[in-house]
Structure 1
């Protein structure tokens, strides 16, 4: 058996993992690098050819969730290769690209993306998929993208747990360790644990639970009548935090645009069946010219979800002149580096958008596992052969985790053969043509 980390050992995006036997070869995620500060992620002919070489002959590709850094290059895969994704993840990705096709002016590329998404095979949690001598079983995890999964990969007597991105501090993150214990470890030892390692370098930072964010949001809503919220449009748990806090205010409308409303409807129809926490049935849709809603906002106050786009620039131009700015706040609930002008990850349109508000309050918690959560998972799984960290700019930061002594020696960050499994670790510099 061979495990290849094509990308992810030294970067926090664009992850690609390959697991192969003599009979089959699968890939897990085919991610696109984070765009530059202007939002560009250029795809060239060289990029396409490099991806074709990588995916040619693969028996299947499995996606852990719908974020572009895991799914973003799926449209470059030949139709002969089956691609697998979760049911809700597919719905969200399809809707997102349907909207992009109408608004971004790149109908031809979006049509290609949509055709690939529509062909994707939907997997179900806990139901194995067999590819020759490789068996893949998905298990649900909490992440900032709803409908995210880890994969148990079994082949040739070896068991590999690929966690994908996960966290333990969301509303639905409490089941992580029990899921691993009940459904993975009771059936046998894990040989290799391939896990995200985004947060270990921030091990000294405290990580807030969504419950804590909800209390902070409510405090701000009591302090300010007019509340704008800038957060991910697809982070269901964060959206539930603000929706729930606003509901406590009684009578204030919870407002979004038509795109966000459709995303909320998808979550209500799916996750909402499992928990009332994710039922967003009282959201109001704003559009320019909706005078009745604008008047209500001015009279009662509100909570409005916003994004850094030209459309919302126009919305703000219509709304802000009607507001008392001393009673108005923008809650920024995304990664702090996006609005740090000194960071290489700064996004200009985010900086410009946030600058429109005289009062900005930051309130965020990562979609990734804290150092403590990651250590607890590693110690619980206690793999026989190795721990392979990825989705991190410095995967050696895993050495900082409070791991058992015997586990610390099993962290794999360079190519080697362990217990008859060839582990190949490739760096970003080995893939200059893959975006």
Structure 2
């Protein structure tokens, strides 16, 4: 830790010495300005971290774990490793690790703010998975449209559509300037109306828009353009499958679980959730979602989750499901009328239950995740289980990003969360490309 502090101090001195080389022409880093520094994200997808400074005080937007470096340490920001009262708070846009994943490394009591459901989702996933935890952080929660005042900063969360439930854009006002940070966005999910609402009524007089660009420069692959088409595609598979339908999707992608549930209801099939997915839906606390206890919804406890409960002596987590479980010995009979939320770690459970005769598999995740489970997919293929890829992205398409940028016609645009930030220059003349670690004036 001492080595890291020394390295941080050296990097800060170098950044201070060289920052004037990176300023936008005409900018003047005066004391009466709102300044910005993107620590990670200017040339990569994930790991977002944005530092803002006004009147000698600072806030941070997201403190994400880089997708390509799971051992990454905190960026060199005063107040993260040793107390610095000029750091007023960290605002997390949504509960994906590439936006919150370094919180567990905090060693100082800096205030952290996030959505109420986001906090519950992070805490739930930390129990069942290897995803980052909150560590010693006890987040305060914010609400859509309710401004928070921290020193010279006013921060207003704006709810947005994304594959992570409880996602927000963040409007920051200070020193007479207004910055709008997109976080991660899309316009084709279950909350597409939130995206459209920003397009129809964008916050006015935005000086700088920091906008995600995950799909800029990528080859488009949107065979299923939205969640409705995903549900329709799943329905076709459910109707033609003789045995159990397995759906491999992220338990945290609540929109996708809702699409599976919609297809279940239309096909007359029941839905089986593993305990992790059931707990995620309980944390979301939305009565429209398929929680165990509703007609046609059961909970199945896989071996690895059962082992975790025993290891942690957390048997009480099963209490809400005592009358809502389906046990392995009943899976065979239930298979022809059921859909199960599936992940590769559950394959041995299902093989022992002998419930995969005539089954099909729908993979509903980013194709990159499939490569990490090639052995299980090959085994399923050997078992004559037909696979269908039915998925839509959790991020905005290039066209949706173009529309989002167009909603802020007077704003300077700074790309983030993109491997091809220069692609933004084709959308508007007011695009400014930045480098990680450089200060610039809003």
TM tier relative to shorter chain: 0.7 to 0.9
Find out whether 1:173 has 2:192 as its counterpart.
yes
In 2, are the aligned partners of 1:94 and 1:114 still within 8 Å (CA)?
A: no
Larger radius of gyration: 2
1:229 aligns to 2:247 (yes or no): yes
Q: Secondary structure at the match of 2:393?
A: coil
Q: Structure 1 CA distance, aligned partners of 2:124 and 2:55?
A: 38
Contact 1:63/1:70, CA 8 A, preserved across alignment: yes
Compute the RMSD of aligned alpha carbons: 2.6
Contact 2:74/2:80 (8 A) holds in 1: no
Alignment equivalent of 2:405, drawn from 378, 386, 407: 378
* Partner SS for 1:136: strand
Matches for 1:5-154 after TM superposition, within 5 Å: 5-34=38-67, 41-42=70-71, 47=73, 50=76, 57=84, 58-100=87-129, 113-116=134-137, 119-154=138-173
Alpha-carbon deviation of 1:371?
A: 1.0
Measure the CA separation in 2 of the matches of 1:114 and 1:91: 14
d(CA) in 2 for partners of 1:8, 1:148: 18
TM-score, normalisation: structure 1: 0.79
2:366 counterpart residue number: 335
Is the 8 Å Cα contact of residues 80 and 108 (structure 2) preserved in structure 1?
no
What CA distance in whole angstroms lies between the structure 1 residues aligned with 2:171 and 2:76? Answer: 28
SS at structure 2 position matched to 1:381: coil
Flag the structure with higher helix content: 1
Q: Structure 1 residues 259 and 141, CA, compared in 2 at 3 Å: closer, same or farther?
A: same
Kindly state the Cα deviation for residue 170 of structure 1 after the two structures are TM-superposed: 0.8
Equivalent position of 1:256 in the other structure:
273
CA distance in 2, matches of 1:7, 1:55: 18
Partner of 1:428: none
TM normalised by structure 2 equals: 0.78
Please say if 1:305 is aligned against 2:328: no
Selected match of 1:284 from 290, 294, 298: 298
Distance 1:293 1:139, change over 3 A: farther
Q: Structure 1 residues 315 and 51, CA, compared in 2 at 3 Å: closer, same or farther?
A: farther
Specify the alignment match of 1:158 in structure 2: 177
Count how many residue pairs are aligned between Structure 1 and Structure 2. Answer: 373
| 8 Å Cα contact 2:41/2:49 also seen in 1 | yes
Counterpart mapping for 1:343-422 below 5 A: 346-347=371-372, 350-358=373-381, 359-384=386-411, 386-400=412-426, 403=427, 408-414=428-434, 422=441
Q: 1:205 to 1:55 in 2, by over 3 A?
A: farther
Q: Distance in 2 between the 1:95 and 1:230 partners?
A: 19
Q: 2: CA distance between counterparts of 1:52 and 1:19?
A: 12
Q: How far apart, CA to CA, are the structure 1 residues paired with 2:365 and 2:207?
A: 35
CA–CA distance in structure 2, aligned partners of residues 218 and 48 of structure 1: 44
Alpha-carbon shift at residue 253 of structure 1 (Å) = 2.1
Residue 172 of structure 1, CA deviation: 1.0
Cα deviation digits, residues 159-189 of structure 1 (max 9, x gap): 111010011001211232323543x43xx31
| Contact 1:287 1:315 (C-alpha < 8 Å) held by counterparts | no
Instruction: Tell me how far apart the structure 1 counterparts of residues 148 and 226 of structure 2 sit (CA, whole Å).
Output: 34
CA contact (8 A) 1:28 1:64 kept: yes
Give the structure 1 partner of residue 19 of structure 2: none
Q: Once the two structures are superposed, what CA deviation does each residue of 1:259-296 show, in whole Å capped at 9, x if it has no partner?
A: 111112223x2x33xxx367673421113691453143
Flag the 1:354–1:144 CA change in 2: closer, same or farther, 3 A. same
* Aligned equivalents of 2:441, 2:75: Cα separation in 1: 26
Structure 1 pair 253/52, CA: closer, same or farther in 2 (3 Å)? Answer: farther
Structure 1 contact 213–364 (Cα < 8 Å) conserved:
yes
Q: Report the CA distance between 1:305 and its aligned residue.
A: 0.6
Distance, in Å, in 2 between the alignment partners of 1:228 and 1:7 is 37
Once residues 249 and 226 of structure 2 are traced to their aligned partners in structure 1, the CA distance between those partners, rounded to angstroms, is 16
